[in-house]
Amino acid sequence: MNDDFLPLIERTLDEVLPAATERPAELSAAMRYAVGSGGKRIRPLICFGAARAVGGEPADARYAAAAIELLHNYTLVHDDLPAMDNDVERRGQPTVWKKFGAANAILAGDALQALAFTSAAKTPRNAGAVVAELAAAGVGVVQGQVEDLKREGGSGAAATSRSFADGSGTLCAAESSSLLNGPAPLPKELVEFVYRHKTADLFIAAAAMGAYAAGAAEEQVAQLKDYACSLGLAFQYEDDLLDGDSPFSKEKTEALVRQTTDAARAALTGLPGDTSFLTALAERLVGRTV
């Protein structure tokens, strides 16, 4: 179903990234290594699916999709650094800092972030709105990371709880009450903030950017943001089950996966385009093994 999506994002990323030999070659190589070392490309897929769901074509959103993937990979490069997670391996390969050195990893992440905005600005339609969504997500991710590090006592260790929401100050409607009901091992206000911002903002931005790139109306963008919020939560709850680090009981986490997946599917009702890809994506991400 996404056979046409994945080649399109790979071609576009190859287009916007600097050539491997572009000076300084070590920076270009580190940037390409960071983006090309695997990954599910979930955020670009959401971007393409959102464009199709409002009646557009994936090609309308190709620069927006590349932008959200570049921004996502910048966050991974920085998260892996010794001052953060201190991870030496990602996707079965040495992390960027381990392969190229910490200083080059910081600079490669910086360059990927800047390049994300360059790509977003190339969107032929509603480029200003696309860039604004990308910027809001970029700030939100950093806010969530700061609070998550604070929860770990200010150390460089990574937080084990990573989740998603709409980045607006309240959780998306379907999830607000379910997330905070019952006892949690963390203060509710901290759980809510981290769950709103740490990673979910990129899911929501991906959906909004794809919709704007395809010329969607504001109410359609809002629907797709709600879809992405619920999808992100479902994805993270499932991830927590895989990692065994959910802040909730196994039974509660499984219930939240089901609830948020159902909410994601329901949010697509009434959109003018083909929503089958986004529906299938929500179903596919639940019950995954990696």
- Alpha-carbon span 290 to 41, nearest angstrom: 14
pLDDT score, position 178: 47
Could you report the per-residue pLDDT of 140-164, keeping only the tens digit for each?
A: 999 988 888 876 665 444 333 333 3
pLDDT score, position 156: 45
Would you say the pTM of this structure is higher than 0.85? yes
Q: Would you put residue 157 in left (φ > 0), alpha (ψ -120 to 50) or beta? A: beta
Using DSSP's 3-state secondary structure scheme, residue 109 falls into: helix
pLDDT score, position 196: 72
pLDDT score, position 248: 79
pLDDT score, position 133: 98
> Which DSSP helix (H) or strand (E) runs through 90?
strand 89-90
pLDDT score, position 46: 97
Confidence grade of residue 244 (pLDDT, cut at 50, 70, 90): confident
How far, in whole angstroms, is CA 66 from its chain's centroid?
12
User: Domain residue spans in the chain?
Assistant: 5-285
Residue in 21, 87, 68 with CA at minimum distance from that of residue 211: 68
pLDDT score, position 147: 87
Q: Would you put residue 55 in left (φ > 0), alpha (ψ -120 to 50) or beta? A: left
Q: Which CATH number fits domain 5-285: 1.10.600.10, 1.20.210.10, 3.40.1080.10, 3.40.50.2300?
A: 1.10.600.10
- Alpha-carbon span 173 to 176, nearest angstrom: 6
Mean pLDDT over 229-258 rounds to 85
Query: What percent of the chain has pLDDT above 90?
Result: 64
pLDDT score, position 241: 86
- pLDDT above 80 for 189: no
> What average pLDDT is seen over the chain?
86
Residue 154 CB partners (closer than 8 Å, separation 6+): none
- pLDDT above 90 for 236: no
Confidence grade of residue 37 (pLDDT, cut at 50, 70, 90): low
